[in-house]
């Protein structure tokens, strides 16, 4: 008999629900919150209120698209963290209520592990062990994935995430939030060698992206003193140059980690994995380093409940359930 798992994701500013049947995604409903654009970033209180307002309709839509009744559910997977505390609380509270009402088990999911397991939604799927570069607005990590439930962080940012760097630099350039995709689009028409920015290097496999933001801030300040229209005149080249620098920093540690650990199966995950140049760089290394590379579809890179459901599915298979004492954890670790 088929197993039906409903998954809920509410860690930031997407309210999402998905139905997973025997490891197959039947639906993946996502409602994004545009209100944060005017503030230049996610406002936690507004995010949690929006989740409260929309979670029931999103769940109903996911069930309808999947053709599954709420009475046919066998388990509930929900993001426990990391994320915004108030936003996480909405999803977990809803999941607990549904668990009690329908007497079905609850499965808590680590959001970052779910980004990695998004690779198991569709073919081709990575072989174990593989190395995953997980890049988002809140995290930058190099993770050794031994199996579906056994992962180890080998390196991570010591300050800001690469996604935050993209957004903060985009704000300096006059882009609305979120701005990572706008930098990517403008970079396609620019010269990545036009402007040089410093590459920050950390010990081991760790990253640091706070310095690059400061370097860009001072660079623009100095240029604008002499030419108030400098950004407008050089926008494409600025985007191409700063994106090239950020990607070079990511790739340096990815290559180092893969080579020193003898890993040939390489994956990328997280919202920043939607960046076209990062995807091109990783694919380009396949021949150079004899890698097998894996990149999820764009819809599974950004926050979504399908990845939570796939993570929940593998926990379900091994009987790894949570009880009703589970609480949201904004800084949940692996």
User: Could you tell me if 136 and 307 are in contact, meaning their C-beta atoms sit under 8 angstroms apart?
Assistant: no
Alpha-carbon gap, residue 254 to 289, rounded angstroms:
12
Q: In sequence order, what are the beta bridge partners of 150?
A: 147
- Decide: helix, strand or coil at residue 123: coil
Based on the fold, state whether residues 42 and 102 are members of the same structural domain. yes
- Report d(CA 229, CA 21) in Å as an integer: 55
Q: Are residues 88 and 219 in the same domain?
A: no
DSSP classification of residue 37 = G
Residue 43 to residues 40, 278, 305, Cα–Cα distance (Å): 9, 28, 21
Q: How far apart are CA 15 and CA 78, in angstroms?
A: 12
Domain CATH number, residue 40: 3.30.420.40
Structure tokens, 240: 């191409």
75 within domain boundaries: yes
Residue 289 is inside which H or E element, if any?
A: helix 276-289
Alpha-carbon span 246 to 180, nearest angstrom: 12
Assigned domain for 130 exists: yes
Do 172 and 209 belong to one domain? yes
> How many helices (H) and strands (E) are present in the chain, helices listed first?
9, 10
The reply to whether 45 and 141 lie within a common domain is: no
- pLDDT value of position 152: 98
> Domain range for residue 242?
125-295
For residue 129, whether the previous peptide bond is cis, meaning omega lies within 30 degrees of 0, is yes
Same domain, 148 and 208: yes
| Total domains, the chain | 2
Backbone angles phi, psi at 173, to 5 degrees: -85, 0
Q: How far is the C-alpha of 304 from the C-alpha of 287, rounded, in Å?
A: 31
Residue 1 tokens read as 């008999």
Are the C-beta atoms of residues 320 and 131 closer than 8 Å to each other?
A: no
pLDDT in tens, the chain (334 residues): 679 999 999 999 999 999 999 999 999 999 988 878 877 788 899 999 999 999 999 999 999 999 999 999 999 999 999 999 999 999 999 999 999 999 999 999 999 999 999 999 999 999 999 999 999 989 999 999 999 999 999 999 999 999 999 999 999 999 999 899 999 999 999 999 999 999 988 999 999 999 999 999 999 999 999 999 999 999 999 999 999 999 999 999 999 999 999 999 999 999 999 999 999 999 999 889 999 999 999 999 999 999 999 999 999 999 999 999 999 999 999 8
Name residue, tokens 């046919």: 72
DSSP bridge partners of 106: 76, 322
Q: Residues 187, 42, 16, 102: what is their CA dihedral angle, to the nearest 10 degrees?
A: 160
> Does a structural domain hold residue 306?
yes
DSSP 153: E
Secondary structure letter of residue 322 according to DSSP? B
DSSP per-residue string spanning 225-291: HH-TTHHHHHHHHHHHHHHHHHHHHHHHHHHHHHHHHT--EEEEESGGGG-HHHHHHHHHHHHHHT-
Shared domain for 259 and 310, answered yes or no, is: no
Residues found in the chain: 334
Residues 306, 244, single domain; the answer is no
Question: What's the pLDDT tens digit per position in 265-314?
Answer: 999 999 999 999 999 999 999 889 999 999 999 999 999 999 999 999 99
Query: Do the domain assignments include residue 58?
Result: yes
């Amino acid at each position: 008999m088929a197993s039906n798992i409903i998954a809920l994701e509410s860690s930031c500013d997407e309210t999402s629900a998905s139905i997973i049947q025997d490891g197959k995604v039947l639906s993946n409903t996502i409602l994004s919150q545009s209100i944060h654009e005017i503030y230049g970033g996610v406002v936690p209180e507004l995010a949690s209120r929006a989740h409260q307002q929309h979670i029931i309709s999103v769940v109903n839509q996911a069930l309808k698209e999947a053709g599954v009744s709420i009475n046919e559910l066998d388990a509930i997977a929900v993001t426990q963290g990391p994320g915004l505390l108030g936003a996480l609380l909405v999803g977990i509270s809803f999941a607990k209520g549904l668990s009690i009402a329908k007497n079905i088990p609850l499965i808590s999911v680590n959001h970052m592990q779910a980004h990695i397991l998004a690779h198991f939604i569709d073919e081709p799927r990575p072989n174990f062990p593989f190395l995953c570069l997980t890049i988002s607005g809140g995290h930058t990590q190099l993770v050794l994935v031994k199996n579906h439930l056994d992962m180890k962080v080998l390196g991570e940012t010591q300050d800001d995430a690469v996604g935050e760097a993209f957004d903060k630099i985009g704000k300096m350039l006059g882009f609305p939030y979120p701005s990572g995709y706008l930098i990517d689009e403008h970079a396609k028409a620019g010269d990545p060698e036009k402007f040089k920015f410093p590459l920050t290097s950390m010990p081991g496999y760790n990253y640091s992206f706070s310095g690059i933001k400061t370097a860009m801030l001072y660079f623009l300040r100095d240029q604008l003193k002499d030419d108030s229209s400098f950004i407008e005149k050089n926008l494409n080249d600025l985007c191409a140059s700063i994106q090239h620098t950020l990607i070079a920093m990511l790739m340096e540690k990815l290559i180092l980690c893969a080579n020193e650990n003898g890993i040939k199966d390489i994956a990328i995950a997280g919202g920043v994995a939607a960046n076209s140049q990062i995807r091109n760089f990783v694919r380009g290394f396949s021949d150079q380093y004899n890698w097998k590379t894996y990149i999820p579809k764009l819809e599974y890179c950004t926050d979504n409940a399908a990845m939570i459901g796939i993570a929940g599915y593998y926990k379900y298979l091994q009987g790894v359930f949570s009880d009703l004492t589970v609480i949201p954890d904004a800084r949940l670790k692996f």
